[in-house]
Every structure is written in C-alpha cells, then in structure tokens.
Amino acid sequence: MAVGSRHNRARKTVLLVLVGLMVLATLPLGGCWDYREPDEVSWIMAVGVDRGRENDLRISFQIAVPLAAGGGGESTAFVTAMDVPSLPAALEVMNSFVSREGDLSHTKAIIFSRELAEEDISGTIMLLNRFRQFRPTTALLISQEKAEEVLRQAEPVLEIQPGKYWELITSGWRYTEFIPVGTFRLADQEIRTAGAAGLVPLIGLEQEEPGPPHPDLRPKGQDVAGQLPRRGGVAVELFGSAVIREGRMVGTLNGDETGIVKLVRNVNYRTFKNLPDPNEQGRIIIIQARSRQAPRIEVDRRGNGPSQIRADVFLEADIVGKEGFTAWSHPERIPQLERLLAQSYNEDARVTVRRAQELGADVFTFGWEAKKQFLTWREWEEYRWADQFPNADIEISFDVRIRRVGLTSEDIPLRRF
C-alpha cells in the first residue's frame, strides 16, 4: 500500500510536469506574430486624400517623428504623398520608402480635398468603415485646397507633435458655433442615412491676399475657411462646413449658418450674438446664449406633398456686455431684448433654411423626425425626402429667455467734456 501510493505520487508528479510543459509549449504557438515594438512603427497622425495624377488617388500621410516628441530635434512630423488606387494600398506602398510599418490606429484626422469631395468620396468612406486600424472617432475634414498642401502647412505652434494639434483643433466645435461636429463616425452615419445630409468641418489655408475692405459692422460668421480676415499662427484654419449629400459635397455653409444648424441639432454648447443696439446707432449688445432644453421639432406630412416643418429652439441668454448706455438689465427692458434676440435668430434661421433648401440638403436632420410619420420603410423611401425637402414649408422659431443680467444693474454713463 505504502509503496503503491509512493509510486502513484511519482507518476502524478511526472504527469503534472508533462502537462505543465505541454501548456508552456502552446505559448510560443501564438508565435508573437503581432508582437511589435512601438519604435518599429511609423505613427500616421493625419491622412490627406486628393485626386491623383498617376493613379486614382493621391494619399498623403503626416507621420510623427517620435524622437522629436521625446525631446530634442527640430521637425516633429513629415509629410509623404503617393499616387495609389486606395488608402490601404498607400500603407503598403509607403513601406518602400518609409523605414517603419505604417499604422493608422493613432490617426487624428482624415482630410479630403474639396475637388475630390465634389466628385464622390463615398467609396473611401465605405472602405475606411471596415478598416480595423482606422478609428471611427477620427475627425473627417474637407479642405478648400489640396489636402496634401494642408498637411504640409499644418505645423503646430503650441503643440510638440501634430497628433495633438489635430485632436484639439478638430474639437473646436465645443467652444465655437462655426465648426460642426466632425467625427468620421457621424459623417459616415449621416451620409448613409436616407433623409439627412452630413455636415463636415471645412478646412482651409490662411488667405494670402486680404479680402475686399468692409469697414462697417459685419456679422462675424459670414466667411468660410480660407477667407478669414486674420493673420498669424498656424496656416490652417477651420471655419464653416461642407454639406455632404449622398457621398458628395454639394456646397458650403458659412460660420453663422453652421451655428444655426448646430442649435437646431442641439449640439451647440455656447454661442455669442452681437446684437445691434436699437436705441444707439453703431453700438452692439453682446449676448451669450446656450440651449435651454432640447429643440421641439414637429413634422406635419400632408399626404405625399411637401411637409410642413416647425422647429422651436429654446435658448437661455446672458448679457455679456454692451457698448451703449441703455440700461438693458432693467426688468422692464428684458422682454424687449428677448424679442430682439429671437427676431435676430429667426432671421439667421430663415437665411440658413433658404440656403439648405437651395442645396437640397436636409442639414438639420428633420428627416429623422419625418421618418416617424411613416409606417413602413418602403413608404418612407417612396416619399423621397431628399426631393421633397427643398419644397417643404420650414419655420424655425427661437424662444429666448434672459434669466440673469449680471451684477451690474445700471451703468453710469461716460461723461464727455
């Protein structure tokens, strides 16, 4: 008995060791195929897509130089471009002249040139949608100039490496109404959905020649990227949006129009309004407004004819400052100011609606609301929203409330001697 159990124990030990070795032996079967040191990879920060000269597309990569990011070194990125049939092909071709394997998993922005976008970009978007390395949160931009040129000009001033620059500049939609939300995922969704048009941030290069003179007061968002009256800083600028319908860019919205669309879509966090003071010529009141509650959108479909669309946007406003001496913060004057603001916004909205109907693009995504009126998908498709939208009767009305007037209730006027 004793001998037997000792024998068993020895056998058990041998068995355990064998099993252990077998388990260990399976580990290398994984082969470390995916084992890849980070310094064996070239990290692509931004991708540019243009119409090619010797092939269908011209893909340019902005590749980070990690030594520079780690400290020291002048250039933090370089741009390389190649004519290839598709984006993944570029990754492959790139290996013949860039020493490290290209990787898109840290790409922050993909830029299509307007020239290409006006033809068709749905192919590349569909392709990227399945491409594993590519993140759906990457920003999608459309540039007025050649995308390659934009990448070359994008030399960050504040940031060490360009990836961070792209990340921050494309999240500008959080602070300003002039830039739409521009992730690849959203653009992809809007492009694919029947009944809505996509809004993509418009990117341009600083204008070389100053625009025509205009000394009087002018609304601040009347431009698009590439026309901004500004000087200095990074040559690249984001302003306004490109409207994408059915995978094709059909036109642009300027900054103010983009702002209205964002308010209706309820993605605007904050907006400033320069309101001309009705009591004092040439002076303005500056109001900061934010959404008070989600907009109420009602779509009334009349048979198969054009729909009647009514959108109520609710804003809450604060008086930031005023140039004049009228005590707008007096309780009895506030309703007047609220009315003035609403009128101003309504006017802007009318312009935007007219523009959207001209382009035939439902940038407000009213279509998603209209869809609910149909019982079957087929009915909805047969209604052909894109064709009906330009004829729809659209009314966007703003309801503005001023809740706080700030700490100053009344100003002592400046004395002029």
Partner 1 sequence: MSLFSKLSRRVLFREPQEYQSLFESGSQEDQQQAPAGDRRQFKRKKAETERLADLINQDVPLPTDLQEIKQTLGKLFRSPENNDVVIRQFIIGMEPPLQALMVFYDGLADKSTQNMAILQPLMFFPSLRPDPGKKLVDSLMDRVAESLLPGNEVVTVRNYQELADNVMNGLTVVVVDGQDRALAVETRAWEHRGISTPQVEAVIRGPQEAFTEQIRANITLVRKYLRRTSLVSKFVKVGEMSQAQCAIMYLDDIANPQLVEEVLRRLQSLKADFIHESGILEQMVQDTDTPLSPQALSTERPDRVAANLIEGRVAILVDGNPWVLIVPTTFFSLMQAAEDAYIRWPGGTFARVVRYVGLAVAMLLPAFYVAAVTYHQDFIPTDLLLAMTGAREAVPFPTILEILMMELAFELIREAGIRIPGTVGTTLGIVGALILGQAAVAANIVSPILIVVVAVTALGSFAIPNYELSVSVRMLRFVYLLLAVFLGLFGIVAGLFVHAALLVQMRSFGVPFLAPLTPMTASSPDYLWRGPVWQQERRPDYLDPLRSRRQPRISRGWTRHKRKGGGGDGGGK
Residue of 172, 100, 167, 179 lying closest to 139 (CA atoms) = 167
- Choosing from 9, 11, 12, 36, the residue that interacts with partner 1 (CB under 8 A) is 36
- 184 binds partner 1 per the rule CB under 8 A: no
- Choosing from 4, 38, 232, 303, the residue that interacts with partner 1 (CB under 8 A) is 38
Spatial distance between the Cα atoms of 399 and 15, rounded to a whole number of angstroms? 79
Whether the Cβ atoms of residue 104 and residue 90 lie closer than 8 Å to each other = no
Residue nearer to partner 1 on the CB measure, 41 or 235: 41
Spatial distance between the Cα atoms of 284 and 187, rounded to a whole number of angstroms? 37
DSSP 3-state helix, strand, coil percentages of the chain (rounded to 5)? 35, 30, 35
- 168 binds partner 1 per the rule CB under 8 A: no
Residue nearer to partner 1 on the CB measure, 24 or 412: 24
Spatial distance between the Cα atoms of 126 and 76, rounded to a whole number of angstroms? 31
Stretch that binds partner 1, among 100-108, 120-128, 264-272, 308-316 (CB under 8 A): 100-108
Stretch that binds partner 1, among 23-31, 111-119, 259-267, 279-287 (CB under 8 A): 23-31
- Choosing from 155, 167, 369, 399, the residue that interacts with partner 1 (CB under 8 A) is 167
Q: Which residues pair with 291 in a beta bridge?
A: 315
DSSP 136: T
- If you search the block for the tokens 């603001």, which residue do you land on? 341
Residue nearer to partner 1 on the CB measure, 39 or 74: 39
Stretch that binds partner 1, among 27-35, 54-62, 282-290, 396-404 (CB under 8 A): 27-35
Residue nearer to partner 1 on the CB measure, 44 or 370: 44
Whether the Cβ atoms of residue 138 and residue 75 lie closer than 8 Å to each other = no
What tokens appear for 312 in the block? 């109520």
Tell me which residues in 49-68 interact with partner 1 (CB under 8 A). Answer: 64, 66-68
- 163 binds partner 1 per the rule CB under 8 A: yes
Residue nearer to partner 1 on the CB measure, 61 or 385: 61
- Choosing from 37, 209, 216, 332, the residue that interacts with partner 1 (CB under 8 A) is 37
Residue of 91, 153, 86, 92 lying closest to 121 (CA atoms) = 86
Spatial distance between the Cα atoms of 321 and 286, rounded to a whole number of angstroms? 5
- 20 binds partner 1 per the rule CB under 8 A: no
Whether the Cβ atoms of residue 156 and residue 162 lie closer than 8 Å to each other = yes
Binding-site ranges for partner 1 (CB under 8 A): 27-28, 30, 32, 34-39, 41, 43, 45, 64, 66-71, 103, 105-106, 108, 135, 161, 163-164, 167
